[in-house]
Amino acid sequence: MKNFKRYICLALTTLLVFTLFTGCKKEEDKGKDTGDKTKTEEKYENGLPKDQKVVLKCGFFETGELKKHMEYAMESFTKAYPNVTFDPLFSPSIGDITQPRIAANDDNEMFDIFSCMGLTELELVKNNKLESLEDLWDKSPQDTPDKSLKDLAQPGVYENAKRTEGKTYQLPWGTFVGGMFFDESLFDKNGWNKTPKTWDEFVKLCDDIKKTGINPIVYPGVYAGYLTAYAFNPKMFELADINGDLKGFTERFQTGAKPYYNSPESLEVYKRMAELGKKGYFAPGIAALNHTQAQMMVLQGRAAMVPCGDWIETEMKDATPEGFKWGYMAVPVRDKEDQNLYYQGGQTDSVFIWANKPDLNKAWAKQFLLWLWTQDVQKVDAEIGVLSIRKDFNAVDSYSDSKRKISQYVKDMDAKMVDDGYYKSWPKDPAAKQADKLWSENLVNMTLGKKDYVEVLNKCEEYMDKARAAEK
Amino acid sequence: MKKKTDASIDTKKDPWYKNAKTQKKLFLFLALLPGFGGYLVFVLYPNILSVWYSLLSWDGLSKPIFVGLHNYKILFTDQFVWRAMKHNLIIMLVVPPLTVLISVVLAYLITNKHYKENKIHEVMYFIPNVLSSVVVALMWRFIYDGDYGLLNGFLRLFGVNAQTYWLGEESTALAAVMVPMIWASVGFYIIIYMNAMKSIPASLYESAILDGASSMTQLFKITLPLIWGVVRVTLLLMMVGSLKGFDTILVLTGGGPAGATDVIGLYMYNTAFGKTATSQFHQYGYASAIGMFLFVILVTCKGLMDKFLPNEDIQF
């Protein structure tokens, strides 16, 4: 009896170990041609085989609406190409999930396609982790075979696409816009200027608003970057353009090269913000406000303008009162109308393709990125509040009211988009972090005129000098 | 029946796994394995790894670069570290003593004054403790709001024209974040102290009353000395919490305004994971160095506490 029990235990253990090993399959076997080589493969128009099953692992940034768009894109792609399926993972902190996978250096566990959020492109390119997507600009989306992405892209998108060492590694599929948002009904009621064309006009607008007892501008002091990222950082590019140094400034801005914090453009922009602050154009208590509170002040009519991204309408839709209409403007720092006006814009959650995957996986991943540019998928983007990447977008009615106004504003003002959130590289030394901390802690006081912006920005630049020196 | 003699005793040894001592040790090992294994994998190993990380310059993506003590050199000259430590010291000197004081007094009243509604008091004081720190922080954010906050509204009832943004002013923000920390903790410690007080024999109080001792005398001469061991442990826990914790501050102020509420735990967290426009580049090496510094501070504080607040238990 004892021996019988022993043999049963041994048999069960052997079975358990055996099943563990048979459950594993090499990822490299997936996507490889395992079919009968004597049979001719059937292929799609894109030249890829119909009979080889491919599963694309994806890691996407999640907000409620963006998830809907990606799910639709994946579903429709699989309908068109049944041999390709997806294994998606959505997360609002997808960068925190992707980073450890990259650090683990396991290509099998890594995503085929993944959001760029929170990742440093330069380091990934240096380590040959990313697939170049530069060739896609000459390819066509599946519904427009006679035009390339280059031809279809909105003005400036192809030329200003994020590139590392001259190549595109993240392909945009939509754009977003940042700037000053306001209640158009309130502006119309008071006869305020909705499209100030110069700095003087903007200051006069703030003055007109202040006279009625409403705070001209409110921004969330808890999140330092809202005022600068959405409204005033693009103004540095505007000034650089006026000064004839746009290319040089852009390069320095995107790499943290000297001068960064105390460049002439930066000092001028902070001077203007301090000017607004000293005149009392910013709402009181700003330092304590988060973005929801700041945006609520505009909805309640206690403040006139708030810097934000174009998702503000969707974000605040449940709290928006009857009759409220969102309006948009880019703050002008130019002195003359014939100078260029810049507004903040960027790519909506671009995606990378991991380089160390089977060729068939990568080929299908590229096809999926082209699929995101089709009119059908772009229409779903528009419905969730993303501005189309295509200049021939044929479903403008799908846009919300505010998006239509943004499109119209950009067209009427002939405004140029600049992505001030894109950084090619950044010094890694802790001194760079200290510079950022000093800047973010003093931003509110600099804009209110309570702290000398020159002194603070010079100190930040000193920290950056230490960081740059440590890198050498 | 043949009796077994010494000569006929079976000399064949039992297998090792049948040995009673071995089985006992094996059982203990298996019983401890999950807890100890978890401690090794999720606590000890990452902490040891942090020591290594503190010697690196690493953003989590690119190849780590060994920089030796460079991170520590920066740490000791980093004005933000010392400012954060100053805030931690203030919190440590205010929050634990006030929490203990309020908790002991309330626990004493509930235990020794037999009010009818004692049970209701116990539940009410404990409710904040079941809320998550995020919920507590969000609630107090609304209380402190400058325009519609409860606090300003309460002050206006007394004719004070209050329009203060309690979390937005550098002069009030630190005090403002300490209040919810105390409010959320008091309930938990009331329960602990109540249980400690209930173990004190009633005869001691009866004797004291017969000798003419007042309530305050009973509290300071009987109750506190006899529960001192428990109070000491709770003080230690609160001290560690005030040095390490930052969740309430993260939600309430994010360390602002202008760093007025920045604490060492939050600085470490932002260094490793913080996201502003240019802070998308993480610095795990420097953050680990700050973590090691915090560890040394905590051990030092424990040592000081053992020296100046010895564990003198009084037996009754």
| pLDDT above 50 (res A39) | no
Residue B269 tokens read as 């967290």
pLDDT-derived band at A11 (thresholds 50, 70, 90) equals confident
Q: What is the model's pTM?
A: 0.78
A102 contacts in B (CB within 8 Å)? 61
Which of A287, A289, A429 comes nearest B57 by C-beta? Answer: A429
A145 CB within 8 Å of a chain B CB: no
Mutate to test the interface with B, among A98, A115, A222 (most CBs of B within 10 A): A222
CB of B235 within 8 A of CB of B254? no
pLDDT at B231: 92
Chain A: closest CA distance from residue B216 (Å):
42
Chain B: closest CA distance from residue A294 (Å):
12
pLDDT at B11: 53
Residue A309 tokens read as 């991204």
CB of A235 within 8 A of CB of A331? yes
pLDDT at A393: 85
Complex ipTM value: 0.77
pLDDT at A304: 97
Residue B248 tokens read as 């309430």
Give me the count of residues in chain B: 316
pLDDT at B16: 78
Alpha carbon distances (Å) from B291 to A81, A255, A271, B87, B268: 51, 29, 38, 17, 7
Give me the count of residues in chain A: 472
- Sorted by where each begins, the domain ranges of chain A are 54-173+348-394, 176-346+420-471
Residue A353 β-bridge partners: A113
- Distance, CA of A464 to chain centre: 25
| pLDDT above 50 (res A33) | no
Query: Of A150, A81, A236, A233, whose CA–CA distance to B277 is shortest?
Result: A233
Which of A120, A440, A442 comes nearest B276 by C-beta? Answer: A440
Cβ separation A103–B286 shorter than 8 A: no
Q: For the residues A76-80, what does the mean pLDDT come to?
A: 96
Give the nearest chain A residue to B250 (CA atoms): A222
Cβ-based burial of B240 (10 A; exposed 0-12, middle 13-18, buried ≥19) = middle
pLDDT-derived band at A38 (thresholds 50, 70, 90) equals very low
Cβ separation A441–B256 shorter than 8 A: yes
The list of chain B residues with pLDDT below 50 reads 1-8
Chain B: closest CA distance from residue A443 (Å):
8
Cβ separation A293–B61 shorter than 8 A: no
In A169-282, DSSP assigns E strands to 174-183, 215-217
pLDDT at A77: 97
In A131-235, DSSP assigns E strands to 163-164, 167-168, 174-183, 215-217
pLDDT at A32: 42
pLDDT-derived band at A10 (thresholds 50, 70, 90) equals confident
DSSP state of A153: B
Which of B254, B262, B280 comes nearest A118 by C-beta? Answer: B280
Which of A126, A288, A436 comes nearest B167 by C-beta? Answer: A288
CA distance A31 to A42: 15
pLDDT at B315: 61
A434 contacts in B (CB within 8 Å)? 78, 80
CB of A224 within 8 A of CB of A440? yes
For the domain with range B70-308, which CATH number is right: 1.10.3720.10, 2.30.42.10, 3.20.20.240, 1.10.1790.20? 1.10.3720.10
Mutate to test the interface with A, among B61, B142, B293 (most CBs of A within 10 A): B61
pLDDT at A140: 95
Chain B: closest CA distance from residue A266 (Å):
15
Mutate to test the interface with A, among B145, B281, B284, B288 (most CBs of A within 10 A): B281
Task: Enumerate residues 290 to 309 of chain A having a beta carbon within 8 A of any beta carbon in chain B.
Answer: 293, 302
Q: What does the pLDDT look like over A402-415, one tens digit per residue?
A: 888 888 898 889 88
CB of A304 within 8 A of CB of A215? yes
Kindly state the helix (H) or strand (E) to which residue B270 belongs, with its residue range. Answer: helix B264-273
Which of A103, A420, A434 comes nearest B80 by C-beta? Answer: A434
- Sorted by where each begins, the domain ranges of chain B are 70-308
Chain A: closest CA distance from residue B109 (Å):
38
Chain B: closest CA distance from residue A72 (Å):
30
| pLDDT above 80 (res A118) | no
Query: Of B306, B301, B295, B267, whose CA–CA distance to B43 is shortest?
Result: B295
Q: What is residue B185's three-state secondary structure?
A: helix
Which of B256, B276, B283 comes nearest A287 by C-beta? Answer: B256
CA distance B155 to B160: 5
Q: For the residues A33-48, what does the mean pLDDT come to?
A: 65
**Which is more confident, B170 or A4?**
B170
Q: What does the pLDDT look like over A168-205, one tens digit per residue?
A: 999 888 888 999 999 999 999 999 999 999 999 999 99
Kindly state the helix (H) or strand (E) to which residue B144 belongs, with its residue range. Answer: none
- Could you tell me which CATH class the domain A54-173+348-394 is placed in? alpha beta
Mean pLDDT over all residues of chain A? 88
| pLDDT above 50 (res A27) | no
Residue B234 tokens read as 């709770």
pLDDT at B276: 57
- For domain A176-346+420-471, give the fold: D-Maltodextrin-Binding Protein; domain 2 (3.40.190)
Alpha carbon distances (Å) from A41 to A38, A51, A85, A389, A467: 9, 7, 19, 35, 56
> Which range, of A237-251, A419-433, B200-214, averages the lowest pLDDT?
A419-433
**Cβ neighbours of residue A257 closer than 8 Å, sequence gap 6 or more:** A251, A468
A408 CB within 8 Å of a chain B CB: no
pLDDT at A64: 63
**Cβ neighbours of residue A93 closer than 8 Å, sequence gap 6 or more:** A118
B255 contacts in A (CB within 8 Å)? 441
Give the nearest chain A residue to B273 (CA atoms): A96
A123 contacts in B (CB within 8 Å)? 59, 61-62
Residue A338 tokens read as 């014939």
Cβ-Cβ contacts under 8 Å between A and B: the total is: 113
Per CB distance under 8 Å, which residues of B are interface residues toward A?
Answer: 57, 59-63, 70-71, 74, 78, 80, 144-147, 163, 165-169, 253-259, 262, 270-271, 273-281, 283, 285-286
Cβ separation A441–B281 shorter than 8 A: no
B253 contacts in A (CB within 8 Å)? 222, 288
B286 contacts in A (CB within 8 Å)? 430, 433
